[in-house]
Amino acid sequence: MVSVNSMQSPFWLGGLLVMSICGSSLPAVAQSTSTIIPNTATAEFNSPGKPPKSISSNTVKIPVQGGTAALEIIKIGDRASIEPGDAISYRLQIRNTGTATITDLSIKDTLPLGFKFLAKSPVGAIANAAGTPVTNPSPITATVSGSVVTFKYPELQPQQSLIIAYAALTSPDAVRGTGRNSAIAFGLSPSGPVNSNIASHRVLVQAGIVSDCGTLIGRVFEDRNFDGEQQPGEPGIPNAVVILEDGNRIMTDADGLYSLPFVLAGYHTGTLDLTSLPGYTIAPNLYRIDKNSTSRSVRLEPSGMARMNFAVTPTYREGVR
Amino acid sequence: MKTPKCIYQFSTIQILLLLGLSQSAISQPIPFYKTTVTSNADEIKADNGLTLRESIALINGELKLENLSSAERSQVTPASQASTIGFNLPSGQTQIALKSELPSITIPGTTIDGTTQPGYDATKSATQEINIAIPVVELIPAANVDVLRGLTIVSDRVTIRGLSIHGFSAAHKSTAMTPPADIFISHATPPPSIEKQKMPANFAPYYPDDIPPKNTIIENNWLGLSPIGKTDRPSAFGVSVFHGENTTIRRNRIEFHDGSAIITSVAVTNTDVSENIIVNNGLAGMPDAIRLEGNVDRSRIHGNLMCGNDGAGVYLFKPEGTVKISDNQIRYNGRRLRRAAIYLTGSGHEVTDNQISHQSGSGVVVGAYPQSDRNIITNNRFDALEGMSIDLNTQENTYAQAWQTGDGPNPKRKGSYRHLETGNAAIDSPEFTTDEFTNASVITGTAEPNSQIALYKVQSNPEDDRGPLSQPIGQATANGDGKFTTQLTGLVKGDRISATATDLTKGTSEPAINAAIGTWNDVKISRNPTAIPACTTPPNPPATVPPPILPVKLKAPTRIHFALDQDFISPVSATILNRIATVLNQYPGVSIELEGHTDPRANNDYNQALGMRRATNARNYLLRQGISASRMTLRSLGETKRIAKGDSKIDYARDRRVEIIYRDSDGFELTVEESDLQLE
C-alpha cells in the first residue's frame, strides 16, 4: 500500500536519511463488496535545513473485497548491513484495513540472534485515515522476553495506522545469526481474532572488527611421567608436525609449541605426524584413555581458544603396525 | 572418681598401641644372602635347583627361606653385608628364558654376578678394540613371550656383572609399551605403573619421595647380543637410566637395539659411561647410540667405541647440567638418519680427545636453541665427515636439519644480538692472514681477542674449505687486538692447516678457512686409502686376510624387489640378499649403499617413507646375516628415480626396489636380478 520510490533521493545518498512514512492517502472503503480502489502513496522527507518534501506515487487501482476488520503490517529498517556494536532502527506500521475496530492489538517482533532491544528507544504515533496524527493516543507498551519484543495497543480504529519506531544494538553473536527480523500483529475484532501478514527485514551482518575465528594452541613434548601434561623437566620437541583435518600442516617451534590463529569455529581434529619425529611415539597414558591416540578432537568457539597437546616418548620397533 | 579411671584406660590403649608399633618397626630386617643359581628354569617352586627368580625373590624378602626345598637351601648361605647372586648352571643350560618380567631388585647392595659361572674366562675377549670378556649366562625372554625389561633396578648400590641380556622388547598394543630396556634403572614403582602417582604432579615429573637409586654399576655385560654375538630378537633399549644417580656403565658390549644403547631421562646426574662397545644400535627407533636427557650434570662419557649406529654417537637433547665427552672413537654412525656425531645443547660441556670419522653429518654441532655456550671442543681428530668438524648453529636456526646435522658455516658475527642466537655465543672462527703461507715458521692470523687458538693439520676431504680438523699440531694465544702468531713444525709444502678459537666465556669456534703451506698448486688432491669399514675386529684374525685383489668377474646382484605397498623381504629376495651377504663377507673392504625406491603412485612423502622402510628392512636382513652396520648406508629416493617409463603392472613392479650400490668394487660384475619381481 505504501511504495517508497525514493531511492534516487539525494538524502539517501548523503546518508542523512530521516524518513517518515506518512499514512497513505486512501479513499474510504465502501461497505459494498468488490470495489475498485485507486491507491496512491506519498513519501515525505525531511532533511536538515530544507523544507519538508513529499512525493506521490502513481495511482494503483486495486479491487477490494469488502470485509470486517483486517490487519496489515510493514516493517523496514534503516540500513541494509551492520557490524557488531552498531545500532539499527526499525519502523513498524500496522494498519487496520478493515471496517471494524480492532481491540487488544499486539505486535510480536522477533529479533535475530545477537540483536538487543533498546528499552528506551521505542516511539509511537497513530494516524487516522487521512494521514493526520491522532491527538492524545493511548500509550503503547513494550515488553521483552528473550529475543521477542511485544508491543501492545488497546484499540485501532478502521483505517487508522499505528507507527512504532525502535532501535536495537548488535552484539558479536549477531555474526552467527541470520540477521532476519520478523513481525506479526494480531488483535480482536467483533467477528473474531484477526492476524496480519508477517513482515520481515533482513540486514546483512558483517564481522567488522570482531571475528568469529578462534585460535588453536598446543605443544608436543617428551612425557617423562606418562601423565599427558608437560611439567618442568619435560622438554618440547621441535619441528614436530601436526596435521589438521583440512590439510593444514603445523610445525612446532624450538620449544615444541605451536599456535594457529584464524581457525574457523567448530569441531577440529589434529593428528601428530610421527614420521616428522623419528625415534618417538605417542606416550602411553594410564590416566586418560583419549590421550593414547595420535589424534585430538577439540571444539573451538568463536574468538575462543582450544588446545591440542601431544605427549611423546622415545620408542623402538618404529613403523611396525 | 571417674576421671582417674578414664586416664588409666587411655594409657592402657596407648601402651598397646606403642607395643604394636614397636613390633612392626623392629620387625626382622630382610637378611642378606649369598645364593648360587643352579637351575635355568624360570619358576618359584621347591624343587632340585635354585632359579634366578627364586634368588631375587628370596633376597627381596618376597620368598621365605623355609619355602625352599632342602636342595635349594643348600645353595643359600647367609651373608653379612649385602646379598649376592652367583651362578653355577650346568653346562649347556646357561640360557635363562624368562616367562615374565623378573621382580625388581629392591634391596640395596645386591650384586648379580655372571662371572661366577664356571667357564667364564675374564681374559678372553671377542673384540680387539676393547677387551670385554664373553659372558656365559644368558638372560632372554621365553619363545613367543614379550618381556618388556630384563633386569629392573630400583635400589642403591646394585651391581650387574658378566651377563648376556638380550631380546627384551614388546609389541606395541593399543597404547605404546614403554619404557623398555635390557637393564632399567628407576625409582620404585617405575612407569607405566601409576599406583604411586594417583594424580599427576603439576610441578615436576615425579614427587620428591620418588628417590632415584644411586651407585648402580653395570659392567662386563653383553647387552642385545648372545655369547656368540648374535640375536634373533632385537632388544628395545640397552641400559635405560630412567631415574638414577651416580650410575656407572663400563666395559659392556651394547649392540643390535631398536632404540638407543644408553638413554637417560629424569634425574641422572653423575652418570659415568666408559669403555663400552656400542655398535649397530637405533635400528628402528631412537637412533642415537647414547642419548642424554634430563638432569645429566657431571656425567662423563669416555673411552667408548661407538660405531655403525643409525643416528648420532652422543645426542644431548635439552639436558640440564654439564657433560664431559672424551677419548671416544665415534665412527661410521648416522647410517639411517644423517646426524652429527656429537650433538650438544646446553652449556659448559667439554668434548676433548675424541676421534670422529666417517659420519654422515657434521662432527660436533652446538645447537642455537636453547641457548648453548661455553662448550669446549678441543684436541679432537676428525676425518671423512659429511659436514663440518665443528658446526655452531646460528641465527636461531632450529629447522629440522639444524637439529640433526647443523646449518653449515656461519657468517662473521655482526652486532651483539648474534651472541644470543648462536651456539657458543657466536665466537668467530680465526682467519689466517693469507691462504698460502710460504712456510710453516710464521703462521699469523686474527681471532677473538685473548682467545686460545688450536691449529690443526687438514687431511683428506680435499673439497672441504674448512677442515676437517684431522690432527692437532699447535697452540697460540691471540693478543688483546686479536692477532696471533705461531710456528708449526712437521709440515711440508702442500699441507693444509685450519684452526679453532676457544674462549672460556664463549666456547670453541667453527674451523677457520683452510690455508696451504706453499701454494695451493702444491696441495695434492688425494684421498686417504679406504679403511676397512668394520666396527670391531675379532682377536687373532685369520692370518690369511683375503687379498684385496678381486677376481675379474664376480657376480653381485644389485637389486631386490618388493610387493605393492609392502616393505617386507620376500623369500626369493632373501636368497638374493644372501648372495649379496656372501659377497660382502668375502670382501670386507667393500661397503654398500641401499637406496629404497617406489613406484610413482601415492604421494611423494608417503613414498619417501616407504622407500626408507624398504631400505631399512633390506639392511636389517643383511645385519642378521652378520654384515656390519658400518658398511651399509641407507637412503630413500621415493618415486624420484623410476627405472621403468611405462605404467603397466610390470613397470611398477620393477620400480618397487632397493638398489645396492657397491663402493670400491672394481672388478665386480654387477647383475640385475628380476627373479623376485612381485606383480600386484
CATH number reported for the structural domain that contains residue B658 in this entry: 3.30.1330.60
Distances (CA, A) of A287 to A257, A292, B266, B357, B489: 23, 10, 20, 46, 66
How many domains does chain B contain in total? 4
CB of A36 within 8 Å of any CB in chain B? no
CA atoms within 13 A on the CB side of A154: 3
Which residues are CB-contacts of B550 (< 8 A; sequence separation ≥ 6)?
B587, B665, B666, B667, B668
Whether residues B102 and B76 fall in one domain = no
Whether residues B137 and B284 fall in one domain = yes
Residue B418 belongs to some domain of the structure: no
pLDDT at A13 over 70: no
Task: Compare CB distances from A316 to B203, B259, B399 and report the shortest one's residue.
Answer: B259
Residue B617, domain extent: 554-671
* B chain contacts of residue A314, beta-carbon cutoff 8 Å: 178-179, 237, 259-260, 263, 285-286, 291
Region B266-291 average pLDDT: 94
When pLDDT is cut at 50, 70 and 90, the band that residue A302 belongs to is: confident
> Directed axis angle between helix B571-586 and helix B604-624, to 10°?
60
Mutation target to probe the B interface, by most B beta carbons within 10 A, among A272, A277, A317 is A317
When pLDDT is cut at 50, 70 and 90, the band that residue B519 belongs to is: confident
**pLDDT value at position A24?**
39
Nearest to B42, CA basis, from B114, B93, B110: B93
* B chain contacts of residue A234, beta-carbon cutoff 8 Å: 205
| Burial class (CB within 10 angstroms; exposed 0-12, middle 13-18, buried 19+) of B426 | buried
CATH of the domain at B259: 2.160.20
When pLDDT is cut at 50, 70 and 90, the band that residue B13 belongs to is: very low
Residue B54 belongs to some domain of the structure: yes
Whether residues B632 and B583 fall in one domain = yes
Helix (H, G, I), strand (E, B) or coil at A30: coil
User: Tens digits of per-residue pLDDT, B57-108?
Assistant: 999 999 999 999 999 999 999 999 999 999 999 999 999 999 999 999 999 9
pLDDT at B549 over 80: no
pLDDT at B23 over 50: no
**pLDDT value at position B591?**
83
User: Which of residues B472, B498, B522 is at a domain's end?
Assistant: B522
Higher pLDDT, B586 or B271: B271
Whether residues B292 and B154 fall in one domain = yes
User: Which of residues B85, B102, B119 is at a domain's end?
Assistant: B85
Report CA torsion sign: B443, B445, B447, B449. positive
Element of type H or E holding A270: strand A266-273
Cα distance between residue B462 and residue B528, in whole Å: 10
Nearest to B567, CA basis, from B604, B621, B629, B603: B621
Region B589-616 average pLDDT: 88
Asked if A310 contacts A242 with a C-beta cutoff of 8 angstroms, the reply is: yes
Element of type H or E holding B572: helix B571-586
Whether residues B178 and B297 fall in one domain = yes
Region A146-152 average pLDDT: 91
Beta carbons of B291 and A314 less than 8 Å apart: yes
pLDDT at B22 over 70: no
Asked if B453 contacts B477 with a C-beta cutoff of 8 angstroms, the reply is: yes
Amino acid at A133: P
Whether residues B576 and B494 fall in one domain = no
Stretch 602-641 of chain B: residues touching chain A, C-beta under 8 Å: 605, 609, 613, 616
Beta carbons of B206 and A232 less than 8 Å apart: no
Whether residues B511 and B591 fall in one domain = no
Region B603-621 average pLDDT: 89
Amino acid at B385: L
Residue B246 belongs to some domain of the structure: yes
pLDDT at B198 over 60: yes
CATH of the domain at B450: 2.60.40.10
Whether residues B262 and B130 fall in one domain = yes
Cα distance between residue B366 and residue B358, in whole Å: 19
**pLDDT value at position B12?**
42
Please report the number of interchain residue pairs, chain A to chain B, with beta-carbon separation below 8 angstroms. 129
Angle B93-B99-B102 from CA coordinates, rounded to 5°: 95
Identify the top-confidence range among A24-38, B9-23, B503-517, B548-562.
B503-517
Asked if B308 contacts B336 with a C-beta cutoff of 8 angstroms, the reply is: no
When pLDDT is cut at 50, 70 and 90, the band that residue B675 belongs to is: confident
Give CA torsion, residues A115, A117, A123, A129, to 10 deg: 60
User: Which of residues B320, B337, B354 is at a domain's end?
Assistant: B337
When pLDDT is cut at 50, 70 and 90, the band that residue B664 belongs to is: low
**pLDDT value at position B543?**
54
Residue B487 belongs to some domain of the structure: yes
Report CA torsion sign: B442, B446, B451, B456. negative
Region A195-199 average pLDDT: 90
Identify the top-confidence range among A304-308, B185-189, B367-371.
A304-308
Phi-psi region of B443 (alpha: psi -120 to 50; beta: other; left: phi over 0): beta
**pLDDT value at position A35?**
64
* A chain contacts of residue B294, beta-carbon cutoff 8 Å: 224, 233
Residue B187 belongs to some domain of the structure: yes
Q: Phi then psi for B53, rounded to 5 degrees? A: -60, -40
Angle B420-A310-A299 from CA coordinates, rounded to 5°: 115
Mutation target to probe the A interface, by most A beta carbons within 10 A, among B184, B265, B283, B606 is B265
Cα distance between residue A184 and residue A89, in whole Å: 17
Q: For the residues of B305-344, what is the DSSP string, one character each?
A: EEES-SS-SEEE-S-BS-EEEES-EEES--SSS---SEEE
pLDDT at A26 over 50: no
Strand B164-165 vs strand B159-161: parallel, antiparallel, or unpaired?
unpaired
Cα distance between residue B232 and residue B144, in whole Å: 12
Beta carbons of A239 and B398 less than 8 Å apart: yes
Residue B651 belongs to some domain of the structure: yes
For residue B269, the Cα-to-chain-centroid distance in whole angstroms is: 18
Taking each continuous run of H as one helix and of E as one strand, the counts in chain B are: 7, 46
Amino acid at B317: F
Whether residues B254 and B321 fall in one domain = yes
Cα distance between residue B489 and residue B487, in whole Å: 7
Beta carbons of B286 and A316 less than 8 Å apart: yes
Sheet holding B431-432, edge to edge: B431-432, B443-446, B483-486
Rounded to the nearest angstrom, the minimum Cα separation between B212 and chain A is: 14
Q: Residue written as cell 641380556? A: B165
Asked if A233 contacts A224 with a C-beta cutoff of 8 angstroms, the reply is: yes
Rg of chain B over all Cα atoms, to the nearest angstrom = 29
Q: Which domains does chain A have, with CATH numbers?
A: 1-66 (no CATH), 68-210 (2.60.40.1530), 213-314 (2.60.40.10)
CA atoms within 13 A on the CB side of B149: 25
**pLDDT value at position A295?**
93
User: Tens digits of per-residue pLDDT, A150-174?
Assistant: 999 988 888 889 999 999 999 888 8
Whether residues B142 and B180 fall in one domain = yes
Whether residues B76 and B130 fall in one domain = no
Task: Compare CB distances from A317 to B171, B288, B400 and report the shortest one's residue.
Answer: B171
Report CA torsion sign: B360, B363, B364, B367. negative
Least confident segment among A67-71, A166-170, B527-531: B527-531
pLDDT at A207 over 70: yes
Beta carbons of B259 and A275 less than 8 Å apart: no
Region A272-279 average pLDDT: 90
Residue B508 belongs to some domain of the structure: yes
**Other C-beta atoms lying within 10 Å of the C-beta of residue B57:** 17
Whether residues B81 and B50 fall in one domain = yes
Residue B646 belongs to some domain of the structure: yes
**pLDDT value at position A27?**
40
**Other C-beta atoms lying within 10 Å of the C-beta of residue B675:** 10
For residue A175, the Cα-to-chain-centroid distance in whole angstroms is: 7
Whether the upstream peptide bond of residue B192 has omega within 30° of 0, thus cis, is yes
Least confident segment among A64-78, A272-286, B79-93: A64-78
Region A233-257 average pLDDT: 93
Region B13-38 average pLDDT: 63
Rounded to the nearest angstrom, the minimum Cα separation between A219 and chain B is: 16
**pLDDT value at position A287?**
84
**Other C-beta atoms lying within 10 Å of the C-beta of residue A200:** 13
User: Tens digits of per-residue pLDDT, B454-481?
Assistant: 999 998 766 788 889 999 999 999 999 9
Please, what's the b/e burial string for B506-544 (b: 16 or more CB within 10 A of its CB; e: otherwise)? bbbbbbbbbbbbbeeeebeeeeeeeebbbbbeeeeeeee
Nearest to B301, CA basis, from B272, B267, B278: B272
Query: Which chain A residue shows the shortest CA-CA distance from B233?
Result: A317
Give CA torsion, residues B500, B503, B505, B511, to 10 deg: -10
**pLDDT value at position B201?**
66
